[in-house]
Amino acid sequence: MTDAVDPQLLTPYAPQTEQRTEPLGMGERHPRLSWKLHSRRRAAAQSAYRITVARRSADLNTPGRLLWDSGRRASSDTLLIGWDGPALTSATRYHWRVEVWDETGARGGIAQSWFETGLLHRDDWTAQWVGRDMVNLPHYDPPEDDDPEASALQSPPVQLRRTFQAPSRPVRARLYATARGVYEPRLNGSRIGDTELAPGWTEYHRRLQYQTYDVTGLVTEGPNVLAAIVADGWWSGYIGFDPRRAAQHYGDRPAFLAQLVLDYADGSRQVVATGPEWTEAPGAIRSADLLMGQTVDARRHTPGWDAPGPDPAGFRPADVLDTDPGTLVAEPDHPIRVTRHLPAAAVHHRGPGRYIVDFGQNLVGRVQLTIRNAERGQRIVLRHAEVLDDGELYLDNLRRAQATDIYTTGGTGTEIFEPQFTFHGFRYAEIDHYPGELAADDVSARVLHNDTPWTGTFECSDPTVNQLQSNIAWGQRGNFLAVPTDCPQRDERLGWLADAQIFAPTASRNADVSVFFARWMRDVLDGQDDDGAFRDVAPVMTLDREAAPAWGDAGVIIPWHLWRTYGDLRALESSFDAMAAWVEHIRRHNPDLRWRHRTGNSYGDWLQVGVTTPRDVLATAYFAHSTRIVADAAEVLGRAPETAHYRKLHADIRTSFTESYIHDDGSIEGGTQTGYLLALAFRLLPGSLVEAAVAHLAADLDKRNTSLTTGFVGTALLCPVLTDHGRADLAYALLHQDEYPSWGHSIRHGATTIWERWDGWTDHSGFQSAAMNSFNHYSLGSIGDWLFGRVAGIDQTPSSVAYSELLLRPQPGGRLTWARAEQDTARGHVTCGWNLTDGLLTVTCTVPPGATATLHMPTPDPGSVREGGAPASGRPGVLAIEPHPAGAALRLASGHYVISAVAPELTSPVPS
């Protein structure tokens, strides 16, 4: 945040272009600009802004050198302001500045940023795809002691290089690069950038992302070498749970495409691109696969292969595989990076040269291992697992994924092994055949995920609930890697649509996932067939079938979520036709408006406990839900005919649901918790039966000693619906439950991430079936949205977009004596928290400039509402106080508030 000289001054901060900070190599030709606002003064708001753009930062102060000057515009808008300047050119940096005026018309502060375009036009590319020549592949004799267990199905990654002459040091140098596979670029012996597993995974048949790197400081006058290592990755490696390799889906070998653009002080430009001048050879990496692991033989390392000098022995002309670059798009979101380093929490000696390392946290990434003074040719094996079974790695749940890294020492003194073309889901690593004694300082875990900015925190007085929030966050880190995966350890790692839509509200609390989800939505849309059906997974891999209810509905729910949470109208516009086509697909095949036909591999409420929610009840509820969203989206987009059509269709589906599945006493067909939750959450019940349905839901929980039966779908709705219908006591009871099935049960058994299933391990049965038993799977962590939104209280009104109208609803309950959350929303920093002390409830909250808030103050005595010891009515920023079923509703302008009142009486049925 920008520190204002005057804290009362309205100051913009966090300027972004296309929802990213200073993006390098942006591909959008009509970018949108955003900023947030800060002021300690109550009721501060923006009344106008001015945007100026120039090629140089210094020129922003020179009117004659501006490329675009918006002039002073009377507007409170701060989000995704459309580009109204001249057409952008490729490979160009643009500096921009925003200045604001406050609600009085006084000049506020200034924020400044930049963005740089990538290669915006297809003819900007001159590079050709290069890779290994498979036709004339020479025979490489392995050492006599080479690993006989190495998979013959995995080809070694290819090392590629090209020498070029630079007449002088350039004033600007950019590398634009991508791969069919995953790649690590290098220049003059140094790795370029910190991006991992680039270019990520997209629907390769439709588009491939490229990355942009600033390499100005790496180019020298004279000879230079541009190089890369390229491995199979998602292009031609193992993906999903098919026994075949991805080569069956995309390609049979990895390839590299790049061009280095050098600009010199005299105005000349030099382009070094992949093509027939490149040479290739295998290197020390013998195999690398995302699922299977990486094998490195340090004896095969060729020193200086990526540095200036003649081609080392063994290098030969690379094969030009394709002269057409294909459909390339600039990477729009945050790349995969190493974001954390976790030291070993414990090292257990299990036998000669064999150790099991506990990192104290289930994570996704890889191990970095230091080997000291090993003899040449010693083979060290690393295996990875999430949990232990009698002190040894539990590997059965990995299925076909070998998750094994092998390193053969080169005998060069201290050696460091860290595989770069694989990742594993693990808390424990077995290190076998390690020479000497393994010290804790010699091993660490490196955490990998898309580097989405972390924006939210939640904490409370209960350590178990804090551990639950930590488990949710770590599950998100581990599974937001290239796509929102289902699990990171076994042979799957697919982008399941239902998991993503269920968890998206929670994910948006923890991090800014706006561009991550918007980019993935392109894959979701690409998977839609001509009849309007989405697929269960995106990118489409191994499961090319019509999506199931709640799965395909992600194609409707996520674009709407991006609009409501981030104000991203473009995401809604680009998805609307596909959203409508999905609803029409369901309607066309179910003219009675009960979704019973064309339901794909209908999963129901996946992994529910001991009950079965009728599949047509769940499906029809989602049919209604998606139709209502499409109607709302049409209204937002100003599409009046579609609005009327889908409002009518939604009303008809609701009638069909009522007549088919709701009984006169308010019970729902099937009588499951999920059935009631769907009907209540999606507003499918007649008003006269809502109270009865809530009573049936509560009765089901009571008869089970406050135990849930919900699976993936129902769990996301459980605590929010109970709280919204006056049964926060039951929601808290479920939160604090630690007997199976519950969140607390897994925590009591050592979980540091969310389990895939409630019975991943139980006292009476041990491990569940290894065929499907992940210990890192975010779906059941969807309760995180409730922790932020109802326990701490940060939410927005139904008509609000991007938190413009905050709804602060702190809900004390259970064993908690305090709770608080912070969230850096699209409009600015929001906080809400509460504590109970000596019969007094104190709520602390922050409303950012430009937003307003309604604070529901839960108290039996509305007259006791105070701020600073005085009645809150009439205090600066308190716009109104009105009666509310919770006690009192305070209408607040922007600012920081500390409000107190007589505390409510809490009688939650909390398990002992």
**432-449 burial string, b = 16+ CB within 10 Å, else e?**
bbbeeebeeebbbbbbbb
CA atoms within 13 A of residue 713's CA, in its CB half-sphere: 34
The two three-digit tokens of residue 237, written as one number: 């490696």
With H, G, I as helix, E, B as strand and everything else as coil, classify residue 849: coil
Catalytic residue among 28, 116, 756, 822: 756
CA atoms within 13 A of residue 671's CA, in its CB half-sphere: 7
Task: Identify the sign of the CA torsion 765, 768, 774, 777.
Answer: negative
Contacts of 183 (CB under 8 A, 6+ apart): 177, 198, 199, 228, 229, 230, 231, 254, 256
Q: Which residue has the tokens 């209604």?
A: 624
* Cα→Cα distances 462→719, 753, 833, Å: 17, 17, 14
CA distance 122 to 327: 8
DSSP state of 201: -
Q: Which residues pair with 257 in a beta bridge?
A: 178
The two three-digit tokens of residue 737, written as one number: 């439950």
Q: Which residue has the tokens 């340090």?
A: 298
Q: Which residues pair with 314 in a beta bridge?
A: none
Alpha helix ranges (H) inside 527-637: 554-566, 569-589, 615-636
> CB atoms < 10 A from the CB of 695, how many?
16
882 flagged as catalytic? no
At residue 173, φ and ψ (nearest 5 deg) are -140, 130
CA distance 889 to 899: 12
- Helix axis angle, 554-566 relative to 497-510, nearest 10°? 10
Task: Identify the sign of the CA torsion 78, 80, 84, 87.
Answer: positive
Catalytic residue among 103, 331, 415, 492: 492
- Is residue 170 within 8 A of residue 216, CB to CB? The reply is yes
Q: Which of 753, 758, 752 is nearest to 772 (CA)?
A: 758
- Is residue 295 within 8 A of residue 281, CB to CB? The reply is no
Rg of the chain over Cα atoms, rounded to whole angstroms, equals 29
Full 3-state SS string of 227-264: EEEEECHHHHCCCCCCCCCHHHCCCCCCEEEEEEEEEC
With H, G, I as helix, E, B as strand and everything else as coil, classify residue 11: strand
For 413, left (φ over 0), alpha (ψ -120 to 50), or beta? left
99 flagged as catalytic? no
The two three-digit tokens of residue 135, written as one number: 């036709």
- Per DSSP (E only), the strands in 277-353 are 279-282, 285-289, 293-297, 316-317, 319-322, 328-330, 336-343, 346-351
With H, G, I as helix, E, B as strand and everything else as coil, classify residue 453: coil
Which of the residues are catalytic? Answer: 492, 756
